[in-house]
A and B are shown apart, each in its own frame.
Chain A
C-alpha cells in the first residue's frame, strides 16, 4: 500500500515498520523536521543523549544486548562527525546500527554551507554502507535497505544522510515488504560437503580445540545453544575471544577461559599445541594470534564465518566454511548425531590431562592484600554479589576491561558488552545506558577505569533524565593503568602522562547529577559497599580505590607466541622490563 507523506514522516514510518522502539539522538538544524515528527507520536521513544558519541555507543549497547539494530538520529556537520568513533567501533565489532544524519539542503551541498560536511565521504570507511538521499522517491527504498544491510550477513553500521529539503518534500511511501536488495545477499547455509569433511576431520582429531568469537553472539541465541550442544556431544575444549564471551558458559566443564594477549595459559597453550582448530565466528585478530609465524604450528584449521574476507586474511586455513554460525552448527550437530563418529577417547583423555597441567599453573593468580583492594579481587567480589541476578556488564578500555573479562564469569550471550576491535575508552557508560533502555529489569554495570569514565561522563545526565539505574563500578587506580603497564614493559617505566591528575571527587560528582555515590578503599568494606550499590534504586558511581600499580597478567608480550606467555608468578620487575624485544616494541 502506497501513501503520500513527507520525508520526515517517512523516516518515522520506516522506523515503525522495522519494529524500532527506541532512538538515541541529539537535535540540530538539519534534522528539525524529523524531530517535529518525533514529538507528535508515541510509538517510538527518543532518548536524548548529551553528546552524539554517547548516542552511538548507547545504540551499540542496545544492539549488543538485544541482537536488534540500534538506531541513532543526529544532525549534520558536528553531529555527524561526533558519530564517527561510534560508527568505527560498531564497524570493527560488527554491530548493527542504523544512523540517520541530517544534511544541509541539496542546493547548498558543496558550498561549505553552515554545518555542512561530507558525511558520506567521512563515514565511508567506517560504515558497512552509506547513502546520501538526493531524491524523495529514493528515501523509502534506502531506509529499508539500510535496515537490511545493517542486520544481514556480517552486521555493521550504516548511515543514511538526508538533506533537509528532502525531509520536507512529499512523496509516496511503500513499506519494506517488496524490497529485495539488488546485489547484497549473504550466504547463510554452509556448503554441505565442506561441513561433512569438517565433521570427519574433527572426529579424527587427537588434540582438538574450539576457538569461538563474536560471530557466535551475532548469529543469535540459537548459535550459542547449538555451540553448547556441539561441545556436549564432542567434549572438545573451548576458548573464546573477548567478543565471544558468554556464548559458552564460563561454568561449563570444557571451558578454557579467554585466549589471546591477556587470555589464560591453558587457552593459549591449547591453541598452540592443538592438532585440529575449529574457528567459529572469529577472525584471527592480532590480539589473538600473537606472533603469526609461530601461531599454532601443528594444527589443521576449520574456519566457519559468514564473511569470506575473514578467511585466510592473516592465518591460512585448511577448510573454510562460509555461512551463518547457527546454520552451519545446526548441520554439524545433525551430522555428528546421525553418524557413529567419535573422537578417540584415550587421545582426548591425554589431551584434557595435558590441559589440566597447564591449568594448574593458575595463570590468573594475583597476590591478595588485606590493606589494598586488589582490582582482580574487586571484580571477583562484584561477580559473587551479582551472578545470580540478570546482569549485563559493559566496560571501558584498559586493565579493568581485561580483569573483567578474566574474572567475571559469563553464562549467557548478549550479557557482555565491550569495545573489542577499536578499544574505545568512553564506550562503557553510554553502552550501559543503551542496554538499560532495552532491558529495564536487568542490572546493568559498567566496569570502568578512572581515566576512561571521564571520556563520556556527560552521559550521567542522560541516565538521570530517563531514570536509568545503571551502576558505574570504577576500578580507580589513579593511572591510565594499561598505558602505565606498557610504559613499564616498553619504556623503562618512564610514566609519561599516564597519571590521571586532578580526578574529580566521584561521590560528589554522582550527587551533582542526582546519582548515588560510594567510595571504598578497604578490602574489608567492599562487600557491604557492593550491597549498598545493588540496593540503591538510583544510578550509582562506585569509586573503588584499588592498588595503584597492579599489572594485568598473564600476557603474551608483543611479538611473542602463545607458548611464550609472561605468567604472574614469573613477572618480577626484571622479567617485565625485558619481556619485549626490540622488534616487539614497534608493535601495538
Chain B
C-alpha cells in the first residue's frame, strides 16, 4: 500500500533503512461498537502502514467483542509501533502479535486459514483440467452449470493463491476471498 512510507518514520530521516521487512499477523480484540473498524483502518491509512489482509467479525456476542485479524508488513520497529498505536485506540481490549507468539513457542507461524470462492467458466478440456486440479487442491464445487464451476477452497494464503493462479489460464473469471483468520497453536486461549 504505502510501502515507501515505512522507510521514513520522520521527515528528517534521509538514510535508507536497511532493516528487513517482516510479515506479521495481529489479532485485535475490540468492543463491537459503531466505527471501530473505521478507527483501525484509518490508523493504518493515516500512518502509512500496510494492510495485506484484514478480517473482522463478532466473536463473542454477549460481551460485544469482535476479533480483527490483520496481516501487515513492516520493519520490526514499525510492527511494534502498529501494535502500540492499536492499543492506544480506546475500544481496543488487546492486541496480540500472533507471529511473535509463534516464534516464542519455536513455531514458524500461527494457524492461519482463508477461504476463497473461485469462479471458472469454460468448456471442454480446460473445464476438465480445472475440475481435476480442484480435486488435487481439495477445493469443492459449490455451484455449477455446463459452462462454469464455483470452487470453494480453504487453506493457507499461499495455497489459495497458488490455486487461483493455476485457474488463471483455465477460465478464471471471478474471485472472492475472506482474508486470513488466525489462532495460536496449542491448548490455551490468548
Question: Residues of A at under 8 Å CB distance from B?
Answer: 120-121, 124-125, 128-129, 132, 149, 182-184, 286, 289-293, 307-309, 311-314, 316, 558-559, 583, 587-588
Query: What 6 A-B pairs come out closest when comparing CB atoms?
Result: A309-B84, A129-B90, A286-B10, A286-B12, A308-B84, A293-B15
Contact of B111 with A by CB under 8 A = no
Which of A124, A313, A587 touches B11 (beta carbons < 8 Å)?
Answer: A587
Contact of B34 with A by CB under 8 A = yes
Contacts of A286 in B (CB 8 A): 10-12
Q: At the interface with chain A, which of B35-43, B101-109, B130-138, B147-155?
A: B35-43
Q: Is B31 a contact partner of A309 (Cβ separation < 8 A)?
A: no
Closest-by-CB residue of A relative to B45 is A125
Closest-by-CB residue of B relative to A153 is B88
Q: Is A309 a contact partner of B88 (Cβ separation < 8 A)?
A: yes
- Number of chain B residues close to chain A: CB under 8 A: 26
Contact of B187 with A by CB under 8 A = no
Contact A309:B81 (CB < 8 A) given known A182-B31, A291-B12, A559-B12 = yes
Closest-by-CB residue of A relative to B33 is A131
Which of A309, A313, A558 touches B12 (beta carbons < 8 Å)?
Answer: A558
Chain A nearest CB, measured from B89 CB (Å): 8
Chain B nearest CB, measured from A388 CB (Å): 40
Binary flags per residue of B48-79, CB closer than 8 Å to A gives 1, else 0: 00000000000000000000000000000100
Best-buried of B9, B12, B13, B80 by chain A (most CB within 10 Å): B12
Q: Is B90 a contact partner of A149 (Cβ separation < 8 A)?
A: yes
Q: Is B87 a contact partner of A587 (Cβ separation < 8 A)?
A: no
Give the docked Cα–Cα distance between A128 and B31 (Å): 16
Give the docked Cα–Cα distance between A372 and B174 (Å): 75
Question: Residues of B at under 8 Å CB distance from A?
Answer: 9-15, 31, 34-35, 38-39, 42, 46, 77, 80-81, 84-85, 87-93
Give the docked Cα–Cα distance between A292 and B92 (Å): 31
Task: Provide a sorted-by-A list of 11 A–B residue pairs whose CB atoms are within 8 angstroms.
Answer: A125-B42, A132-B34, A149-B90, A183-B90, A292-B10, A292-B12, A292-B13, A309-B81, A314-B9, A314-B13, A587-B11
Chain B nearest CB, measured from A245 CB (Å): 22
Contacts of A311 in B (CB 8 A): 84
Q: Is B15 a contact partner of A289 (Cβ separation < 8 A)?
A: no
Closest-by-CB residue of B relative to A154 is B88
Contacts of B81 in A (CB 8 A): 309, 312-313
Give the docked Cα–Cα distance between A307 and B88 (Å): 8
Q: Is B93 a contact partner of A183 (Cβ separation < 8 A)?
A: yes
Closest-by-CB residue of B relative to A182 is B31
Give the docked Cα–Cα distance between A182 and B31 (Å): 9
Closest-by-CB residue of B relative to A290 is B12
Q: Is A316 a contact partner of B91 (Cβ separation < 8 A)?
A: no
Contact A124:B77 (CB < 8 A) given known A183-B93, A291-B12 = no
Closest-by-CB residue of A relative to B16 is A293
Contact A289:B12 (CB < 8 A) given known A125-B46, A309-B88, A311-B84 = yes
Q: Is A124 a contact partner of B38 (Cβ separation < 8 A)?
A: yes
Q: Is B90 a contact partner of A184 (Cβ separation < 8 A)?
A: yes
Q: Is B84 a contact partner of A183 (Cβ separation < 8 A)?
A: no
Contact A314:B10 (CB < 8 A) given known A120-B35, A125-B42, A183-B31 = yes
Contact A309:B90 (CB < 8 A) given known A293-B13, A314-B10 = no
Best-buried of A125, A128, A558, A583 by chain B (most CB within 10 Å): A125
Contacts of A559 in B (CB 8 A): 12, 14
Contact A313:B87 (CB < 8 A) given known A124-B38, A132-B34, A291-B14 = no
Closest-by-CB residue of B relative to A588 is B11
Q: Is B12 a contact partner of A183 (Cβ separation < 8 A)?
A: no
Q: Is B87 a contact partner of A124 (Cβ separation < 8 A)?
A: no
Contacts of B87 in A (CB 8 A): 308-309
Contacts of B89 in A (CB 8 A): 129
Contacts of B42 in A (CB 8 A): 124-125
Best-buried of A183, A286, A583 by chain B (most CB within 10 Å): A183
Contacts of B39 in A (CB 8 A): 124
Closest-by-CB residue of A relative to B43 is A125
Closest-by-CB residue of B relative to A586 is B11
Contacts of A309 in B (CB 8 A): 81, 84-85, 87-88
Closest-by-CB residue of A relative to B12 is A286
Give the docked Cα–Cα distance between A149 and B46 (Å): 22
Closest-by-CB residue of A relative to B76 is A312
Give the docked Cα–Cα distance between A194 and B48 (Å): 32
Give the docked Cα–Cα distance between A128 and B38 (Å): 14
Give the docked Cα–Cα distance between A111 and B42 (Å): 24
Chain A nearest CB, measured from B62 CB (Å): 14
Q: Is B12 a contact partner of A316 (Cβ separation < 8 A)?
A: no
Contacts of B10 in A (CB 8 A): 286, 289, 292, 314
Q: Is B38 a contact partner of A121 (Cβ separation < 8 A)?
A: yes
Contacts of A125 in B (CB 8 A): 42, 46
Q: Is B92 a contact partner of A183 (Cβ separation < 8 A)?
A: yes
Contacts of B92 in A (CB 8 A): 183
Chain A nearest CB, measured from B34 CB (Å): 7
Chain A nearest CB, measured from B36 CB (Å): 11
Contact A583:B14 (CB < 8 A) given known A125-B46, A313-B81 = yes
Contacts of A293 in B (CB 8 A): 13-15
Contacts of A149 in B (CB 8 A): 90
Give the docked Cα–Cα distance between A31 and B38 (Å): 26
Give the docked Cα–Cα distance between A312 and B85 (Å): 12
Chain B nearest CB, measured from A503 CB (Å): 32
Q: Is B9 a contact partner of A313 (Cβ separation < 8 A)?
A: yes
Chain B nearest CB, measured from A488 CB (Å): 20
Contacts of B34 in A (CB 8 A): 132
Closest-by-CB residue of A relative to B13 is A292
Give the docked Cα–Cα distance between A223 and B131 (Å): 71
Give the docked Cα–Cα distance between A293 and B9 (Å): 12
Q: A291-B14, A292-B12 are in contact. List 10 more A-B contacts (CB 8 A).
A: A124-B35, A124-B39, A125-B42, A129-B90, A183-B91, A291-B12, A292-B13, A308-B88, A312-B77, A587-B12
Chain A nearest CB, measured from B182 CB (Å): 22
Contacts of B9 in A (CB 8 A): 292, 313-314
Chain B nearest CB, measured from A452 CB (Å): 23
Chain B nearest CB, measured from A580 CB (Å): 12
Give the docked Cα–Cα distance between A313 and B81 (Å): 6
Give the docked Cα–Cα distance between A309 and B90 (Å): 14
